[in-house]
Amino acid sequence: MGYSGGSGSGSSGGSAGSAGAAGAAGGAGGGGGYRSVGGGSAFGDVSGQELPSLNQAPAGSIRFNTDSKKLEVYILGPVGFGTVPNGIWMEVDSWSPELQTGGTRGLTGGGATPNKQDRIDYINIATTGDAIDFGNLSESRYWLSSFSSSTRGIWGGGGVHPTSPNKTDRIDFVTIASTGDATDFGNLVEARYGMGGCSNQTRGLFGGGYQTPNNDMVNFVDYITIASAGDAKDFGDLSVTRMYLTAASSSTRGLFLSGRTGTGPWTYYDTIDYVNLSTQGNAADFGNLLSTAAAGQSTSNSTRAIYASSESPANNTIQYVTISTNGNAQDFGDLNANQQQGSATASPTRGVIAGGYISAYVDNIEYVQIMSTGNAIDFGNLSLARGNNASCSNGHGGL
């Protein structure tokens, strides 16, 4: 194994003589750092066994382990009685969507055809093309909500008509880098549908929605810790009680956008709220959309959130806000059609809108370049035409 750190470095690979000489030269050239000993590599003898340095490696030294093909850093500190030297080489963990799934993977699950569905599809957001079957949710449902970490995709709540009551508190998860059916995670604070969902790497939030047993809207936000499993907990409240809202996030802020009342004549909202994801508390005013809206689609990278279309009046408008600042939305461009009641997710560069309802349920997938402005471009098609679905990815703005 080769390594480098302090003021000198050993070589990687090579013959026994060259490895040892290179390590010694690195230590000497650096003015008293450390040098390697032994046989076939800077830290091994001819049998491949690791041998200690003549001098202990300085804290923070880096080496490349040619056996595990991993980068390692030297950490000083007690690791148990009798440990010599008093430290340990720790693997440097690294992650990116490219390493995990060959690019940001977007998933969309559930929905209505109009019959409730349990299907999960996936795409590679960096490319274009049709979605591929991933697996199934634990329960067929629509108007559910979704968010994700870099490793797990989460779906919560939803409508389960004709089952009574017509709402579920179920939370499912999948491992994004694999394919397969969802696993039970826990339960929402209240069974409901039509929430907005957003997350960072650690925590996911469900806000608003239409609830059981009171058959009315709620204004509360509940949260989960994505890496664990368990029931949701109370986070705080939105500024306006509403359903059919959407959400987006950076790593620090969650936004909840739009929404409407649950019983007619409906009242629509142009409200944008924000919360700090790492704390609990009530949402604060961020600004306003260009017009009142509900049942649109929103997503974000780490800088900018977009909101696309609406059910009242039906339109194809895309608008955007800068997440780190407060203010009103600005015009971005247009979808190819008045594609409402779909879902959206993102990579660091692209926002993808999937499914929805125009005059019937559609299988359209469209995308935009988030940091520019302009009209959406055709991406491909879902495996099944549906709306009221929910999407997530391992590369969205909260990660």
Answer yes or no: are the C-beta atoms of 104 and 354 closer than 8 Å: no
Yes or no: say if 232 and 186 are a contact pair by the CB < 8 Å rule: yes
Residue 14 has pLDDT above 50, yes or no: no
**What pLDDT shows up at residue 155?**
98
The first and second tokens of residue 336, run together, are 């190819």
β-strand partners of 156: 145, 171
Of 90-99, 185-194, 382-391, the poorest mean pLDDT is in 90-99
DSSP bridge partners of 73: 62, 90
User: What dihedral do alpha carbons 159, 160, 162, 166 form, nearest 10°?
Assistant: -50
Q: What is the pLDDT of residues 334-357, one digit of tens each?
A: 999 998 999 999 999 999 999 999
DSSP β-bridge partners for residue 206: 197, 222
Tell me what percent of the residues of the chain surpass a pLDDT of 90: 69
Mean pLDDT (the chain) is 86
At 285-324, the pLDDT tens digits run: 999 999 999 999 999 999 999 999 998 778 999 999 999 9
Name the pTM for this structure.
Answer: 0.79
Peptide bond into 348 cis (omega under 30): no
pLDDT band per the 50, 70, 90 thresholds, residue 27: very low
Give me the domains of the chain, ranges plus CATH numbers: 2-91 (no CATH), 97-393 (2.120.10.80)
Residues 6 or more apart whose Cβ sits within 8 Å of residue 113: 361, 384, 385, 386
How many Å apart are CA 255 and CA 64, to the nearest integer?
Answer: 41
pLDDT tens string 32-50:
443 333 333 444 455 555 5
CB atoms within 10 A of CB 199: 28
Model confidence over 118-165: pLDDT tens digits?
999 999 999 999 999 999 999 999 999 999 999 999 999 999 988 888
Does the pLDDT value for residue 103 go beyond 90? yes
pLDDT digits (tens, 9 = 90+) for 198-257: 999 999 999 999 997 777 899 999 999 999 999 999 999 999 999 999 999 999 999 999
pLDDT at 20: 36
Q: Half-sphere exposure (CA, 13 Å, Cβ side) for 179?
A: 10
Please check the confidence at residue 381 and state whether its pLDDT lies above 60: yes
* pLDDT value for 312: 76
One-character DSSP codes across 347-380: -SSEEEEEEEESSSEEEEEEEEETTS----EEEE
Question: What is the per-residue pLDDT for 47?
Answer: 56
What was the pLDDT predicted at 77? Answer: 64
pLDDT value for 73? 87
